[in-house]
Amino acid sequence: MEPALIGTRLASAAIGPLLKKLLVSDGPGAGLTGGARAVRLSSLVSFRGEKRTLTEKDVRKLAAALVERSGSGPGEAPFPADETEAVAHTLGTTLLALGDLDMDDVQAVRLGHRTLARRLRAAAPAPDGLSTDSVLYLDSMTEWASLHILEFFTQRSTFVARSLVEQTRGQAELIAKIDEVIRRIPRPDGRDAEFERRYLAHLAKKHGRLTIYGIDLHDSPDRWPLDVAYLSLEATGSVGPTVVTTEHLLPQQREQAPLRADLALARHDRVLLRGLAGAGKTTLVQWLTTSAAAEEPADGMGYLHGRIPFVLPLRALTRHGERLPSPDHFLSAAGCPLTAPEGWADRVLAAGRGLVLVDGIDEIPEAERGRARDWLRGLLDTYEDNRWLVTSRPTAVRDDWLAPEGFTELTLSPMTSAGVSTFVRRWHRAAGPEAEPYEQPLLDALRTAEHVAQLATNPLMCGLVCALHRDRRGFLPRGRKALYEAALSMLLSRRDRERDMGAPSGLVLDEAPQIQLIQRLAYWLTLNGRLQMDRAHAESVIAEAVPAVVEAAGYEPATVFTHLLHRSGLLREPTTDSIDFVHRTFQDYLAAKALVDRWDIGVLIQHATDDTWEDVIRMAVGHARPRECAEILRELLGAADRALDRQTRLRLVLLAATALEHATEVPVEVREEVLARTAEVIPPGDPDEARELAAVGRLVLDLLPGPKGLSDEQAEVVVVTATHVTVDAAIPYLARFATHPALGVRAQLVWGWQRFEARPYAESVIARLDATALRFVLTDDERAVELLRLGLRPDQLEIYEAVSDEQATALLARCDLRQLMLVRAEAGRSLEAVASQGNLEVLSLQLPGEVPLRLTDLPAAAPLKRLFFRSSPEDGLQGLARYQGLQHLALGSGALTADSWRELAALPRLTSLVIDADSLDSCPADVVLPAVDTLHLVPGARSSHSLEPVAVAFPALRKILGRGLALGGAEHLPPHIQITFS
């Protein structure tokens, strides 16, 4: 019987006075005076304490009367007639339990009548042998009685006074706790604020200028403002388990579309960024640092406003193999001359305000990288709520090296042809009017001469190409080795001569002796796995070598060292007591030359599996004479034969193959042997091997088969390889696969479009593709324009923020889409145009927090099955229930309201849900989502949550996913639920 019906029957019988007998009369005996001590319920009931007016027998008679009167009246009886006596006895026992509850009247009222009823039932013995109807009746009767008991409490004259006492005490306790919280979390005082102002100004000055290699000719300065010289880089990464929302929405995609590398930390709090030497990793660190330090950040960099950067170049922190620093030593270890207030770094990081930039995992010896990871883990465990960037060369650490710590792995992409053109224009503009006549001829050469385009693959190489092209009046050397030789010649001898510098250091050395001396430093650093060395040690290395170098033997070794340090253009002083090379590439090049001069082939092969030696070995092949070159290559193949695992064997074979590119002359039989061994690993076994194979470069295109005779899986991996060989010669090869029927092959061809010049690739490949079930990824306006020009109407699109609002709107007007991912940095007509897509089944709207998102922006009648938002709509979820076919929903950040939960409960087919973990606390007790089997929780404002509501709200749940959350109550969940918090 419902409580309301029982209440009606009892009210009509005027049963209130019966229940009032359970309580003693009001008066001073209540004990609310004299010290304002809490009065327990046992002293307020009439069958306990000093003022007894009822006995236990009387209470049971009262219960019998209640049972009799609630069962009278029209309608069926609430329980079987033969259980009346047992029901009355059980109710009496329950009412008697009121005197056993350890609380006072104020606490009881605070609980509410339902919770009080549960406490009474728990304090009394469980019903024994009663029918289900009788048990339900007793539950309802106890709740109704509890409601009247609490009503009596609130009518007592002492209740208001007692409530005020409790309220005053509670407020005093709360104030004390808040004061303690304030005491334990010190606010930055005036000293902190003043220091941060000075510190950010120091970082802006230190990192705000960029060396553009080769631009320091004649009267041009060698460093340029970073905001003028910086070129926006792109990064890509594989879709991993941490990107659950994207994986659910877009299962076809194996690699993320490229994003601006400087915006990676806007999407991911923790990023491991890989990139080749010269790819721009350190420049990116500089750009992030100055963006955080700027009063007015550059476009898109506002997300770093208020962040305090800590720049930690590992090459400098571990010069002597010393212990990596704790936060209070970050500044001194990185060479910052400022002294921070005591505990300042800890306060910044504890408040989650830090931007921690760990540059160069690859720049410390392999044996020390595990220790570096342990150091990083310790920092993450203590200061998790900050933004973290770690950089490395691609092969320095294994895949997923930091995945357990929640890092997203991204790789800097090679510069696109458009990026190279932009760099060339900026370089010539920075170099001044004298360089202007060489700009267009170089741009033409990059488009028409493949050997030139192959050199300009990253910012470092682009800078050298620009400088040499201008320096040599439009002539460029062929091959990377020749490029380095020309660069060294330019830096070591021609620069001072063309500037009419004379001999400012008191001596004159030609190019060859300078190289002989400097390569001794490169040899020591590489052999010892270092990128920096003590100045005193460097001086001793040069002093030991000077007597053997005829041209330098007549000078004091200290004078020679000073000349090399300040005039060679290859060395620098990062601190007053250390030296290093201006770029790792020059160290590798000169170390390779020293190794070949010494003929230390055994040393080369011994380090062949060490990632830091890969470029050294390739350049050693370039330095070697034909017989020496053949020996190195054969030794690499022999090491591959001796390798115990396929990955190492593949790596050594590919190292030999990529080294061929650097060889000046190599015996035909050795070349054929290397190519034959490379062909044995073609087609590659998986996409990872395919990307490794692409490192061979242009040469691998001649070895790749197909499409005839290849399975669908083999065709896909060879296309992966070819799309990562970003030379124009790859386009004709890829065009052979344009009519391939396999979706995986066609999808990879579309993804590869972003790596090539837009129009040639579109005409040769994109225009010939069967667009069925194919998702087109558009990363810029050039590709959007080509899609419109070709008249293509795909039904699946990914449109990223670099596509203008105008082009995005035109595409949405042209296409009738089934799937759409739209990434926008601001509101615009393209967002409004989404509402016109009436056939959408999958929709992902990724907008920054400041751009409002409303459910009214969605197409009202679309048959949506999958829906992803980066943050919850600002107008709530009212109306979401119209999408009755919705199966997957990702709401990102922002806690749900009770009304929003009820909207979710109205979706009968919803099986997968991504929500803010804070939403668990607002889930009503009566809400049930019967079909949801996967729940993904994203961190919210609160750090800890309880899983108790989950068991009731999600009866079909099988899996809970999340990261960085403290969750309790897992013991209340069924054992079959898999909980993964990586």
Model pLDDT for residues 881-936, shown as the tens digit of each residue: 899 999 999 987 778 888 899 999 999 999 999 988 888 888 888 899 999 999 98
- Which has the minimum average pLDDT: 223-232, 701-710, 749-758? 223-232
Average the pLDDT over 405-424 and give the result: 84
| Rounded-to-integer distance, Cα 595 and Cα 588, Å | 10
What is the model's pLDDT at position 308? 94
On the question of pLDDT at 200 being above 90, the answer is yes
Q: How far apart are CA 799 and CA 807, in angstroms?
A: 10
Kindly state the tokens that stand for 619: 């350049």
Q: What is the mean pLDDT of residues 497-505?
A: 46
What rounded mean pLDDT belongs to the chain?
81
Q: What is the mean pLDDT of residues 406-425?
A: 84
Tell me: pLDDT of 447 over 90: no
pLDDT of residue 826: 79
Name 270's bridge partners.
388
pLDDT level of residue 255 (50, 70, 90 thresholds): low
Q: Own/partner pairs for 70-75, CB < 8 Å, 24+ apart?
A: 70/1, 70/6, 70/9, 70/10, 70/15, 70/141, 71/9, 72/9, 72/13, 73/9, 73/12, 75/5
**What is the per-residue pLDDT for 242?**
33
Per-residue model confidence (pLDDT) at position 500 = 42
Which helix (DSSP H) or strand (DSSP E) does residue 813 occupy?
helix 805-814
Question: Taking the model in full, what pTM does it have?
Answer: 0.58
Pick the closest to residue 564 from 590, 527, 603 (CA basis).
Answer: 590
Highest average pLDDT, of 247-256, 520-529, 875-884, comes from: 520-529
Rounded to a whole number of angstroms, the distance between the first and last alpha carbons of the chain is 48
**Residue 264 CA from chain centroid, whole number:** 7
Chain-centroid distance of CA 442 in Å reads 38
| pLDDT at residue 929, rounded to an integer | 92
Per-residue pLDDT, 127 = 78
Q: pLDDT at position 887, please?
A: 94
- How confident is the model over 83-100, as pLDDT tens digits? 888 888 888 888 888 777
pLDDT at 253: 43
Can you tell me the distance from the alpha carbon of 762 to that of 476, in angstroms, rounded to the nearest whole number?
A: 30
Q: Is pLDDT of 252 > 50?
A: no
Q: Residue 212: what pLDDT? A: 57
Which of 219-233, 404-418, 736-750 bottoms out in mean pLDDT, i.e. has the lowest? 219-233
CA angle 297, 303, 305 (to 5 degrees): 55
pLDDT higher than 50, residue 967: yes
- For the ranges 231-245, 269-283, 295-309, which has the lowest average pLDDT? 231-245
Q: Which residue has the higher pLDDT, 965 or 937?
A: 937
* Per-residue confidence (pLDDT) for residue 136, from 0 to 100: 83
- What are 567-601's pLDDT values in tens digits? 777 888 877 788 888 778 889 999 999 999 988 88
Instruction: Report the C-alpha gap between 290 and 205 in whole angstroms.
Output: 8
Instruction: Please check the confidence at residue 720 and state whether its pLDDT lies above 90.
Output: yes
Q: Where are the beta strands (DSSP E) in 570-705?
A: 571-575, 578-581
Whether the pLDDT of residue 1 is over 90: the answer is: no
Cα–Cα distance between 107 and 109 in angstroms, integer?
A: 6
* Coil/strand/helix, residue 922: helix
From CA 753, how far away is CA 801, in angstroms rounded?
17
More confident residue, 226 or 132: 132
pLDDT of residue 412: 86
* pLDDT tier, 14 (very low <50, low <70, confident <90, very high otherwise): very low
Instruction: Using alpha carbons, list the distances in angstroms from residue 767 to 168, 252, 810.
Output: 76, 21, 19
Give the residue with greater pLDDT, 286 vs 104. 286
Q: Please, how many CA atoms are within 13 Å of residue 639, restricted to the half-sphere of its CB? A: 25
Of the candidate ranges 569-578, 747-756, 801-810, the one whose mean pLDDT is the lowest: 569-578
Hey, what long-range contacts does 366-372 have (CB within 8 A, 24 or more apart)? Answer: 366/396, 366/529, 366/610, 366/611, 366/612, 367/529, 368/318, 368/321, 369/396, 369/397, 371/324, 372/314, 372/318, 372/324
**146 contact partners, CB below 8 Å, separation of at least 6:** 113, 114, 116, 117, 120
* Confidence at 218, pLDDT banded by 50, 70, 90: very low
Measured CA to CA, the distance from residue 910 to residue 904 in angstroms comes to: 8
The answer to whether 210 and 378 are in contact (CB under 8 A) is no
Q: List the single range of 37-51, 118-132, 145-159 with lowest mean pLDDT.
A: 37-51
| pLDDT > 90? residue 636 | yes
Cβ atoms < 10 Å from Cβ of 183: 8
The rounded percent of the chain whose pLDDT value lies above 90 is 25
User: Closest by alpha carbon to 253, among 647, 916, 754?
Assistant: 754
Cα(652)–Cα(598) distance, rounded to whole angstroms?
23
Least confident of 150-154, 166-170, 441-445, 460-464: 166-170
What would the two tokens of residue 90 be? 């059980």
Name the least confident of 191-205, 263-277, 461-475, 829-843. 461-475
Interval 426-434 mean pLDDT:
80
| pLDDT score recorded for residue 36 | 44
232/808: higher pLDDT: 808
**84, amino acid identity:** T
Report whether pLDDT(450) > 80: no
pLDDT level of residue 963 (50, 70, 90 thresholds): low
Q: Kindly tell me if the per-residue pLDDT of 801 is higher than 50.
A: yes
3-state DSSP of 579-602: EEECCHHHHHHHHHHHHHHHCCHH
- Whether the link from the prior residue into 683 is cis, omega within 30° of 0, is yes
Q: What is the pLDDT of residue 198?
A: 93
Q: 30 with 171: CB under 8 angstroms?
A: no
- On whether the CB atoms of residues 494 and 279 are closer than 8 A, the answer is no
Looking at beta carbons, which pairs linking 746-749 to residues 24 or more positions away fall under 8 Å? 746/770, 746/774, 747/252, 747/253, 747/254, 747/774, 747/775, 748/254, 748/716, 748/719, 748/720, 748/723, 749/719, 749/723
Average pLDDT over residues 75-82: 77
pLDDT for residue 361: 87
pLDDT at site 322: 67
